[in-house]
Structure 1
Amino acid sequence: MTPGALHPVLGHHIVNSLGWRTLRSLQRDAIAPLLAGDDAVLLAPTAGGKTEAALFPLLTAMDQQRWTGLSVLYVCPLKALLNNLETRVERYAAWLGRRVAVWHGDVGASARQRILRDPPDILLTTPESIEAMLVSTKVDHRRFLGTVRAAVVDEVHAFAGDDRGWHLLAVLERLTGLTGRPLQRVGLSATVGNPAELLTWLQGAGRGTRRATVVAPEASPAAAPDLELDYVGSIDNAATVLAALHAGEKRLVFCDSRVLVEKLGTALRERGVMTFLSHASLSAEERRRAEAAFADARDCVIVSTSTLELGIDVGDLDRVVQINAPLTVASFLQRLGRSGRRSGTSRNCLFLAVDKKALLWAAGLLRLWGSGYVEPVVAPPQPRHIVAQQLLALCLQEGAVGRNVWTEAWNGLAPFDRSADPIIAHLVGDGFVEPDGELVTIGPRAEERFGRRHFMGMTAVFTAPPQFTVLEGRREVGLVDPMLLTDKVEGPRLLLLGGRSWKITWIDWKRRRCYVEAAERGGRARWQALRFGGAGFSLSRAVRDILLGEDPPVRLTGRAEAVLAECRAEALATVHPGGTVISAAGADLRWWTWAGHRANATLASTLSDLVDGVQPFDDTSVRLRTDLTPALWRSQSADAAERICLPAVDERALTGLKFSEALPPALARLTVATRLADLDGAARVLREDVRFVRI
């Protein structure tokens, strides 16, 4: 199949409107399978033309097969990415007389009503918005969604790796029931370690029955990226380096916490650097304004969390800078891919480590990247809480659901099948749903727990920590952790938000709002984070390799080399090439596994009789009883590899599992324990030799 198989009007505009002399290899290779109706995953680096590779064939099919009504759902993980895509997708669709609309949480009621009255051909949306449509009494589901033929899932790897992916699959299966036909599913992704498995996951109930194609053309050898690792020792020093380096260029700086973004952004502004900020707790208006200003400016810096890791267009970048390091190679590749897009430029990233630990882990990440490793995308196991959410959502969608036929809504897709019978029994027993003969309807407990704002809390599958809206007059600045509003302080209460200082003038506790006015300087930033686990096994072992003398395949500054040498000297008693180490330093006895958070959680549970109950483990070690002897260790751990067990679960861990209260308590704890575990990593560590050393 040649590019000529595309609609001739598209071919005309590709050459004459876009000025492209030819399609990219991904775009050429995607035409045949997508026109044939295959499910597919299209792989290419950031800015690799994936959107066009999916849409050009689907627009062609739309015309050739005379699709009418809403035909294509284009699903993204971020509202900002949808906004960013809208103009581009509108342009392509208009060439064939087709229309596009955007529907997400920031789209107003009047715009939604216009979309419902006159459906577009392509809808840019999120899984949560699709769920909201399905459970809304104001949407005629079959009229509006019954004509959908295909779903394009952008950044599909970002969905598949967490519970939003399970939610997306479940919603797509319910849409299949509305349309009466399988939906063609097209995933767009950057480099992943297991593309075939990712596609199998995306197919949902259709796996094994529908044709599936991974489109990942061989990329021409790219020039080696320009990578450097430096040690700066503090955020203030990082700001000084950034203010001095690459003046006149556009720099995108990634931090892995909102607090670091705020601190660095403030420090850069104090040094006279034009600085913009982007993170999830800034208002949408604030983020859009910063991203638009950054896209148009030249000599400037934008400091961001992972919100700009995905494909949001912020213009041509000159430099990417990473403060400390992300926890995965895949995340690093996404960030690296933001640079080198302009002709004549190359990919680049400068790592600035603000402390010794950060330097060590950045070196480990770069070592792992240099080996060619990219993490496989794996769906979180046993999403029982999503099953409970989907059962409740189906009751809202249909009004009443047959107790013996409810699994048909998901076409037999596990775990939304008969294996969930204990969950529906619990929902009935606890009043989340009410039996009515052979039917069940939404019950009083669900009304009480999730019924606020027309059950809008049902559409999102993550629990967000409570936050207060910060307002300057009527303008929303962003969100802050309530702890900042209750901590004891001397003098005025000051916040740091959007890279600026604010003085709180009044707090509306009932409506969760705090009103502020600009302050000259000072203030704190703080947010509570809910997450499962830390570094993984492969990254932790790469850090161990660094301590054993391996170097990352990048340039190291003199400062970085000197501090890395210090790290190695300080860690002599924690690593050994022949296995793991148990070290005794006074009363502190630690087993240095270098196995990652989940594996160590599993080891601590498996060997609980030998483990100190106070702060028992972290990413690198397991803390042991102070009276442990080599003989006791050998006798207690000899058969541990054959009796590995799941980590123990603190009740507080359940707060991060939304809808956990809709599960039987034992199943809720089992779900969290399974997600905290790394059984393979733990087994590998237990098979290794152990050496005892005294410091």
Structure 2
Amino acid sequence: MTAFSRFDPRLQEKIVNNLGWTSLRPVQDLAGQAILDGKNCVVLAPTAGGKTEASIFPVISGCLTDAKDGLRALYICPTRALINNQEERLARYAEMVGLGSFKWHGDVTPSQKKAFLKDPCEIVLTTPESLEVMLDSGSVPTAKIFENLRYVIVDEIHALAACDRGNHLVCVLERIRAYTKEDFQRIGLSATVGNPGDIMHWLQGSSARETALVDPPKKVSKKDILIYLSEEDGELEDQVVTAAHGLKSLLFCESRRLAESIAGRLKKSGEPVFVHHSSLSREEREFSELQFSRGTEACIVCTSTMELGIDVGDLDKVLQVNTPHTVSSFLQRMGRTGRRDGTVSNTTFFIADEKYFLQTLAIIELARSGFVESVKTGDAAWHLLLHQIMALCLERGGFDKDEPRRLLGKASCFSGISPERFDRFVQFLISKELLHDDGRTVSMGLAAEKAFGRRNFMELYSVFSTPQEFEVIGVSGDVIGSIEWSFLEKLLESDASFYLAGQAWTVERIEWKKKAVFVVRAPAGKIPKWGSMSPGFLGYDVCRKMRDILVSNEEYPYLRTDTRSYLAALRADKQEYLASSFAPIAHDHKGILWHTYAGGYVNSSIRYALKIELGIDAQATNEYVKISSETLQWNDFTAAVERMSAPGYWDNPELYRKMTTLMPNYRLSKFQGYLPDELQLKLVADTLLDIEAVKRFFDAYRYGA
């Protein structure tokens, strides 16, 4: 029996007559079966692979056959843009069978939300942060709204599972579960990842339902890949203009600064260009998406904001300046093309130097082999536990001491925290007056009210931090985007103009209290700088593949004559030495250079272990670990490496504790500073180190392969 034959007859009729469908895709049939069977599931399919329908059709069918009042399904997206993009399609599917849908996020007016609360419909599209607001707001009757919730769909779950926002979401789902009459189904929609089972476990939480992974066989299809080297200044922009001319294309850049730089130069060439990144206003981004989806032959210069499934219509080309950090990102981006009959998925790379050239080859070759990175999910997110306990104070006013553990303890991001440590943490918060204990109930303490109470506790509605930014406002009063205060300060010192949205602007005036910069158009300007929390580290597999490419003689069919010659020159320079051992070590009287090609996370771990073993400072990059010392004895170094290579060395909790004390004082979370010192350091260590990958490296190093 097919999933379609199990759908409610009313839905069957509309799928055939309204949509003109004659059958479901394999992923839609398999997902439909799992969801109709009541299982929690993760559905894997490429971009435009039909994941949305795979989840929403069986959910709509369930809403029809088991009709109850009010909210029945949540459709959760990582971004408002994705919600706005999906809204029309989901509304169409719901309305054709008499159901209703509503989007709830920060851009929706209070009057619209009030109308929904008065008469809630079956399907709500929202974000993790908006769910937090719903729980914490006294104006939302949470018990009534969520009591009949039956389904939760999480779109682009791979993007959420890899960051704090995803852990925030699974916590919110556990808190919602306290209000629902039944164990709601949890359905994740994902691009291809290396560990879908871990993502399923991460989403499962306290749910007792059976689970299923929906991962139908993928068709092998042709891909077009081109790589251009840009060795002279200005050559890259010329190559991009030629490649993008007369076509619809996305040009991915790895930073907002680079995106603005490239867009500004492309506009000067006369090419139709839009810009899309997180520091542009919602209106600017939506304008780019709308113009593009209408079939405009243009180029959107973007960051990863366009990597998720925002539908901008059929694309001719994906262009990439340098290279993404992961195979997953490469596949997501390339998957935006090749949707029309007679077209193939494609990516054209524009490479500026050797590092990016090798990284590009490594990512392409890993993808060709079927490799995709695993998503790293943690089990002891202490900074998020603090946030969630504060949020519970807003939601409930007061609670028993053990209620945070009862409500949140089964969230996967806290599964590594024992009940005893959970309770000790609550006691720590009481001791710091972040919580107040009156002997009966626990509530928000004075220190927490002082820290988080501004703007009606706005800081507690999200887990991510943003630097101090000023809105940039044009002559018409429209918000163009935002720039950071540190850049604005330097800009004013030099009385210069700047680029934003691919256009140069001059500051006309600043309203400091409103944090607003009013601007007019200018002929040229500086490129803004935005801060980044990313260390720029590459993963172990990507870096080892870079080394493997250098030591092999394999020819790659997608290389042109110039890139083949470039690779041959790199091999001639490095092949013999790198092939001499798994990770050769060069040393002289000035120090040691260890060519690990193990990635920044592994090399940082080695760096701190060497500090513990030898008391020396080392430099770590993605490709090597370097020690500059004229006093270090070679025998001492090799003995330390021997100890580090021993089985069980990296499993020692005391080693990890010592390594955390050497961590730089990075601020990775706005809640970090309220944690005990050792947990603050552990958060940094968990971000910068990868012990499992280190063990992989030393296992291979020990056996020379």
Verify same fold: TM over 0.5. yes
CA deviation digits over 1:152-178, x for unaligned, max 9?
000111111112221111111111111
CA contact (8 A) 1:40 1:214 kept: yes
CA deviation digits over 1:206-246, x for unaligned, max 9?
2xx32111112223x33221112221236732221122235
CA deviation digits over 1:305-325, x for unaligned, max 9?
111111100011011111111
2:201 corresponding residue in structure 1: 200
1:165 corresponding residue in structure 2: 166
CA deviation digits over 1:416-472, x for unaligned, max 9?
762322321221111111111131101111111111222121121122222221111
Q: CA deviation at 1:412?
A: 3.7
1:366 corresponding residue in structure 2: 364
In the TM superposition, what are the counterparts of 1:379-398 in structure 2 within 5 Å? Answer: 379-398=377-396
In the TM superposition, what are the counterparts of 1:149-548 in structure 2 within 5 Å? Answer: 149-206=150-207, 209-219=208-218, 221-233=219-231, 236-245=234-243, 247-410=245-408, 412-413=410-411, 414-415=414-415, 418=419, 419-473=421-475, 474-487=477-490, 492-531=495-534, 534-548=537-551
SS of alignment partner, residue 386 of structure 2: helix
SS of alignment partner, residue 116 of structure 2: helix
SS of alignment partner, residue 607 of structure 1: helix
Q: CA deviation at 1:488?
A: 6.6
Q: CA deviation at 1:303?
A: 1.1
Q: CA deviation at 1:609?
A: 5.5
In the TM superposition, what are the counterparts of 1:13-28 in structure 2 within 5 Å? Answer: 13-28=14-29
253-262 vs 487-496, greater mean Cα deviation: 487-496
Q: CA deviation at 1:104?
A: 1.4
69-78 vs 515-524, greater mean Cα deviation: 515-524
Name stretches of at least 5 consecutive residues in structure 2 with no aligned partner.
none
Alignment-mate amino acid for residue 471 of structure 1:
I
Call closer, same or farther: CA 1:224–1:171 in 2, change over 3 Å: same
SS of alignment partner, residue 619 of structure 2: coil
Call closer, same or farther: CA 1:500–1:570 in 2, change over 3 Å: farther
SS of alignment partner, residue 438 of structure 1: coil
CA contact (8 A) 1:387 1:420 kept: no
Alignment-mate amino acid for residue 634 of structure 2:
P
Q: Is 1:664–2:673 an aligned residue pair?
A: no
Alignment-mate amino acid for residue 447 of structure 2:
R
SS of alignment partner, residue 675 of structure 1: helix
CA contact (8 A) 1:116 1:139 kept: yes
CA contact (8 A) 1:59 1:93 kept: yes
SS of alignment partner, residue 213 of structure 2: strand
CA deviation digits over 1:245-287, x for unaligned, max 9?
3532211111111111111111111111111110000000000
CA distance in 2, matches of 1:562, 1:487: 43
CA distance in 2, matches of 1:452, 1:550: 61
What is the aligned-residue RMSD (CA, Å)? 2.3
2:112 corresponding residue in structure 1: 111
Q: TM-score, normalised by structure 1?
A: 0.94
SS of alignment partner, residue 151 of structure 1: strand
Call closer, same or farther: CA 1:569–1:66 in 2, change over 3 Å: same
- Tell me the percent identity: 35
Call closer, same or farther: CA 1:623–1:489 in 2, change over 3 Å: farther
CA contact (8 A) 2:592 2:628 kept: yes
CA deviation digits over 1:168-204, x for unaligned, max 9?
1111111111113211101111111122222122111
SS of alignment partner, residue 667 of structure 2: helix
CA distance in 1, matches of 2:418, 2:440: 18
CA distance in 2, matches of 1:355, 1:344: 34
CA distance in 2, matches of 1:655, 1:89: 39
CA distance in 1, matches of 2:14, 2:639: 74
CA distance in 2, matches of 1:587, 1:352: 37
CA distance in 1, matches of 2:245, 2:498: 30
CA deviation digits over 1:474-509, x for unaligned, max 9?
211111122222227775321111001111122333
Alignment length (residue pairs) = 688
Q: TM-score, normalised by structure 2?
A: 0.93
579-588 vs 67-76, greater mean Cα deviation: 579-588
CA contact (8 A) 1:580 1:688 kept: no
CA contact (8 A) 1:407 1:417 kept: no
1:131 corresponding residue in structure 2: 132
SS of alignment partner, residue 205 of structure 1: coil
Call closer, same or farther: CA 1:463–1:143 in 2, change over 3 Å: same
Name stretches of at least 5 consecutive residues in structure 1 with no aligned partner.
none
CA contact (8 A) 1:279 1:305 kept: yes
CA deviation digits over 1:648-687, x for unaligned, max 9?
4667544112311231111121232133222233234345
Alignment-mate amino acid for residue 32 of structure 2:
I
Alignment-mate amino acid for residue 37 of structure 2:
A
In the TM superposition, what are the counterparts of 1:588-667 in structure 2 within 5 Å? Answer: 589-608=592-611, 616-627=619-630, 628-642=632-646, 643-644=649-650, 645-646=655-656, 647-648=659-660, 653-667=665-679
SS of alignment partner, residue 187 of structure 1: strand
